[in-house]
């Protein structure tokens, strides 16, 4: 079994690390993924968003060669995920949605086995394990049985393990589901560090919309289809409005101003007005003209969750 | 080969770490010997201790091999098998790693029974026999471990596996001439016994450990070490090949199941249970 160092562009002429074209997956008569296509740039972070059951895991499992497709093509680093399985398997690192640690073995044994599966020489395994554990702050747990660790620690060990063979692409399926906010923040910090230091391509799925903000590109998936695909900034600009909640001493003047700028002003139960605008400058003009009467103001940017809401008419957690 | 060795070592380590399993595997042979010695006092065979022990060893090899296959189910359920399957390891290497480790455990248990047998007065005339017996135990262990692995990867669920393994074990062990001599069975069941690979494993193993491999056919038939199927006589040598072919078949079948394993179906059922993720 050969082992190649993870490339960061020089190994292939293509700028796309992942190319998916017309991918469809059916389970009997149920279509889990319906004819989707997308590309992931080399060295970028790509987020796959959508509610549970949208088809994200099916797509990731097929890309990772452990699930067969109904039709379409999938290339990872120029290699076909079905016909060149072994080449693809060597090139990727995967952290699945549920833990895949060997719970009865220690953290170190887990990593050693992994290195062995990927054909790393013993000396390389011995040298890399401390470095990988250091990366996720798990050095002192080296000898602990994996089953004795907390959920967040397990996830960190899995990330360390998936990086041991220096993959070109790291797949993360819901890496932070079920973890507390502090651990989630830690894990994202590690991942961003990795992406910067190693110029690694990261493909992640999540149903926490705010977590996708770090991605260079995001695809929003619903009922097996990709319904939007661009950078988070563009998506938000295109599909969301900036929202200002204004408590005013002169409601009538505010309503008049809103109609002047052709903005919708809705009076909430508390008496404050909610004004939405796709164009930030209109909103700023209105606020500036009305500033004498404003007693309280809150301005909120559109989020990716708003994008999802706008596109599907429902909340992502719904 | 390194991957096979690593998987083998891991499974053997896991086995040694499971104390309850370890104790039971040591104790069970004594129970079998006590039970079966009573039954076979009534049957007309020469050298009952030897005859009995050889039969028990083949049954124990079978049952242990099937039991150890549950560790593969544990690996599937715990998710670890996904980590193995997503790696570039060849599927046949995974299958071999699992099979070799369960063979090791089964052969160790068989060896333990033979040691008990030695205290009960079992002797061999040739020094080659114990070596041949050990080799045969490993061979038979490999065959039934392949069957166990095939069942485990096909079923993928611990509860279902228990029932399936029971459904397989009962007819296979009762219709092979170890618990009940074949001559005492009604004719229909005798025919069924001839379709049972365990019958051949037991016959071959008995002929080998009784040092009767080269006996004339009519004596083998009288001792129930060979079988007559129409005009054809299945000698212990032929039995050995039947068992080997059976093992190879299931090694290939379980590798095939690994190769096209679509584990997404397992996630699906797991995810639906997790109400906290809704």
pLDDT (tens digit per residue) in A164-176: 998 999 999 888 7
Which chain A residues are closer than 8 Å to B278 by Cβ? 52
- Mean pLDDT value across residues B202-222: 82
A172 chain-B contacts, CB cut-off 8 A:
none
Residue B108's H or E segment, with its range, is helix B91-119
When pLDDT is averaged across residues B208-228 and rounded to a whole number, the result is 79
Residue contact B87–A99, C-beta within 8 A:
no
Sign of the dihedral through C-alpha B158, B160, B166, B171: negative
The pair of structure tokens assigned to A292 is: 């004498």
Contact A61 B78 (CB under 8 A): no
pLDDT at A253 over 90: no
Confidence category of residue A100, pLDDT binned at 50, 70, 90: very high
Dump the DSSP string for A199-254: --EEEEEES-GGGGGG-SEEEEEETTEEEEEE-HHHHHHHH--EEEEEEES-HHHH
pTM given for the model = 0.79
Residue of higher predicted confidence among A134 and B41: A134
pLDDT, residue B39, reads 63
In this prediction, what percent of chain A has a pLDDT beyond 70?
A: 94
d(CA B153, CA B71): 11
Instruction: Give the pLDDT confidence score for residue A141 in this predicted structure.
Output: 94
In terms of residues, how long is chain A? Answer: 318
Q: Which residues from chain B sit within 8 angstroms of residue A64, using beta carbons? A: 86
Report whether pLDDT(A140) > 50: yes
Three-point CA angle A79, A81, A84, nearest 5°: 60
Shortest alpha-carbon distance between residue A174 and chain B (Å): 11
A142: pLDDT confidence band, cut at 50, 70 and 90?
very high
A304, A235 in Cβ contact below 8 A? Answer: yes
> Does residue B269 surpass a pLDDT of 60?
no
Q: For residue A177, what is the nearest residue in chain B, using CA coordinates? A: B277
Mind telling me how many Å the CA of A144 is from chain B's nearest CA?
Answer: 15
> Which of A51-65, A134-148, B118-132, B194-208 has the least mean pLDDT?
B118-132
Task: State the best of A1, A2, A79, A100 to mutate against chain B, taking most chain B CBs within 10 Å.
Answer: A100
Q: Tell me what pLDDT residue B42 has.
A: 60
User: What is chain A's percent helix, strand, coil content, to nearest 5?
Assistant: 40, 30, 35
Closest CA of chain A from B85, distance in Å: 7
Are the Cβ atoms of B88 and A178 closer than 8 angstroms?
no
pLDDT at B38: 65
**Total length of chain B:** 278
Q: What is the pLDDT of residue A193?
A: 82
How many other CB atoms are found less than 10 A from the CB of residue A131?
Answer: 12
Burial of B72 (0-12, 13-18, 19+ CB in 10 A): buried
Residues forming a β-bridge with A107 = none
Task: Tell me what pLDDT residue B58 has.
Answer: 85
Q: Taking residues A77-95, what's their average pLDDT?
A: 90
The predicted model gives A133-147 an average pLDDT of: 90
B96 Cα to chain A: minimum distance (Å): 14
Pair B7, B93: CB distance under 8 Å: yes
CB B164 within 8 A of CB B158: no
Rounded CA Rg of chain B = 20
pLDDT category of residue B194 using cuts at 50, 70 and 90: confident
Residues B61-104: pLDDT tens digits? 888 888 888 888 888 888 898 899 899 998 888 889 999 999 99
* Tokens 């053997």 sit on residue: B12
Can you give the pLDDT at residue A210? 77
How many pairs of residues across A and B have Cβ atoms under 8 Å apart? 82
Contacts of residue A116, defined as CB under 8 A and 6 or more positions apart, other chains included, come to: A125, B2, B3, B6
Return the bridge partners of A170, or none.
A93, A202
Predicted pLDDT at A162: 93
DSSP A139: G
* Mean pLDDT along residues B171-192: 83
Handedness of CA B1, B2, B5, B10 (dihedral sign): negative
CA separation for the pair A306, A308 (Å, rounded): 5
Nearest to A292 by CA among A254, A242, A261, A243: A254
CA dihedral over A166, A170, A172, A175, signed as positive or negative: positive
Which has more confidence, B170 or B219? B170
Q: Is A103 exposed, middle or buried (0-12, 13-18, 19+ CB in 10 A)?
A: middle
Per 3-state DSSP, chain B is made up of helix, strand and coil in percentages (nearest 5) of: 75, 0, 20
User: What is the structure's pLDDT at B74?
Assistant: 87
Most confident of A115-129, A269-283, B17-31: A115-129
Nearest-angstrom CA–CA distance, A145 and A150: 11
Residue A66 DSSP one-character state? S
- Comparing alpha-carbon positions, the chain A residue that sits nearest to B5 is A116
Indicate whether this complex's ipTM tops 0.85.
no
The percent of residues above 90 in pLDDT, for chain A, comes to: 32
Interchain CB distance below 8 Å, A113 and B6: yes
CA nearest A60: which of A315, A211, A49, B77? A49
DSSP letter assigned to residue A106: B
Residue, of B82 and A198, whose pLDDT is higher: B82
- Nearest-angstrom CA–CA distance, A101 and B80: 6
- pLDDT tens track for B116-145: 777 777 777 888 888 888 888 998 899 899
β-bridge partners, A26: A31
* pLDDT tens, position by position, A8-65: 434 444 688 999 999 999 888 888 899 999 999 998 999 998 887 888 888 998 998 8
For β-strands A217-222 and A225-230, DSSP reports them as antiparallel
Mean pLDDT score of chain A, rounded to an integer? 85
What pLDDT does B10 receive? 92
pLDDT at A159 over 70: yes
Question: Which residue in chain B is spatially nearest to A99 when comparing CA positions?
Answer: B79
**Mean pLDDT for all residues in chain B:** 81
Whether pLDDT at A96 is above 80: yes
CA distance A314 to chain B (A): 15
Instruction: Tell me how far apart the alpha carbons of residues B53 and B117 are, in angstroms, rounded to a whole number.
Output: 7
Q: What does the alpha-carbon distance between residue B204 and residue B130 come to, in Å, rounded to a whole number?
A: 14
Nearest to B85 among A1, A66, A161 (CB): A66
Whether residue B37 has pLDDT greater than 80:
no
- Spell out the residues 6+ positions from residue A159 whose beta carbon is closer than 8 angstroms to its own: A95, A136, A172, A175, A187, A190, A191
Please tell me which of the candidates A67, A161, A177 has its beta carbon nearest to residue B264.
Answer: A67
What's the rounded Cα separation, in Å, for the pair A309 and A303?
A: 10
């Amino acid at each position: 079994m050969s082992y190649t160092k993870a490339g960061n562009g020089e190994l292939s002429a293509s700028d796309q690390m992942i190319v998916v074209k017309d991918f469809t997956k059916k389970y009997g008569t149920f279509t889990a993924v319906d004819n989707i296509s997308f590309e992931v740039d080399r060295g970028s972070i790509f987020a796959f968003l959508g509610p549970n059951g949208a088809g994200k895991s099916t797509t990731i499992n097929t890309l990772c060669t452990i699930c067969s497709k109904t039709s379409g093509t999938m290339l990872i680093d120029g290699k076909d995920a079905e016909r060149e399985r072994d080449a693809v398997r060597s090139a990727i690192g995967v952290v699945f949605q549920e833990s895949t640690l060997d719970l009865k073995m220690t953290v170190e044994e887990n990593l050693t086995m992994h290195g062995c599966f990927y054909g790393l020489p013993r000396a390389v395994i011995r040298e890399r394990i401390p470095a990988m554990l250091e990366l996720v702050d798990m050095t002192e747990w080296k000898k602990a049985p994996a089953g004795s660790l907390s959920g967040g620690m397990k996830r960190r060990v899995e990330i360390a393990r998936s990086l041991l063979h220096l993959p070109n692409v790291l797949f993360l399926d819901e890496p932070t589901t079920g973890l507390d906010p502090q651990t989630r923040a830690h894990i994202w910090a590690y991942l961003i560090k990795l992406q910067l230091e190693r110029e690694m391509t990261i493909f992640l799925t999540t149903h926490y919309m705010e977590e996708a903000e770090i991605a260079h590109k995001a695809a929003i998936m619903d009922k097996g289809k990709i319904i939007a695909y661009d950078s988070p900034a563009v998506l938000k600009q295109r599909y969301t409005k900036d929202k200002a909640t204004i408590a005013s001493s002169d409601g009538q003047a505010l309503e008049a101003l809103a109609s002047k700028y052709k903005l919708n002003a809705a009076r909430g139960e508390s008496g404050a007005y909610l004004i939405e605008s796709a164009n930030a400058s209109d909103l700023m003009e209105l606020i500036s003209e009305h500033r004498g009467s404003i007693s309280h103001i809150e301005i909120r940017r559109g989020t990716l969750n708003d994008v999802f809401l706008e596109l599907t008419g429902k909340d992502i957690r719904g | 080969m390194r991957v096979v060795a690593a998987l083998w070592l891991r499974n053997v380590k896991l086995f040694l770490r499971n104390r309850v399993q370890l104790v039971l595997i040591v104790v069970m042979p004594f129970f079998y010997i006590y039970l079966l010695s009573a039954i076979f006092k009534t049957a007309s065979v020469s050298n009952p201790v030897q005859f009995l022990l050889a039969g028990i060893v083949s049954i124990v090899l079978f049952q242990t091999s099937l039991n150890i296959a549950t560790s593969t189910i544990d690996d599937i359920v715990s998710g670890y098998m996904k980590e193995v399957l997503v790696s570039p390891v060849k599927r046949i290497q995974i299958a071999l790693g699992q099979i070799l480790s369960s063979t090791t455990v089964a052969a160790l248990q068989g060896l333990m029974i033979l040691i008990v047998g030695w205290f009960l007065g079992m002797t061999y005339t040739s020094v080659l026999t114990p070596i041949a017996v050990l080799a045969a135990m490993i061979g038979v262990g490999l065959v039934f471990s392949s069957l166990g692995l095939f069942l485990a990867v096909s079923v993928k669920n611990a509860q279902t596996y228990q029932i399936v393994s029971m459904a397989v074990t009962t007819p296979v062990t009762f219709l092979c001439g170890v618990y009940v001599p074949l001559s005492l069975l009604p004719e229909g069941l005798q025919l069924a016994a001839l379709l049972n690979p365990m019958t051949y494993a037991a016959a071959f193993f008995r002929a080998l450990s009784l040092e009767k491999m080269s006996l004339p056919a009519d004596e083998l038939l009288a001792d129930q070490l060979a079988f007559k199927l129409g005009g054809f006589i299945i000698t212990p040598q032929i039995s050995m090949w039947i068992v080997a072919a059976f093992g190879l078949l299931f090694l290939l079948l379980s590798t095939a199941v690994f190769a096209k394993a679509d584990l997404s179906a397992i996630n699906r059922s797991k995810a639906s249970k997790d109400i906290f993720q809704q």
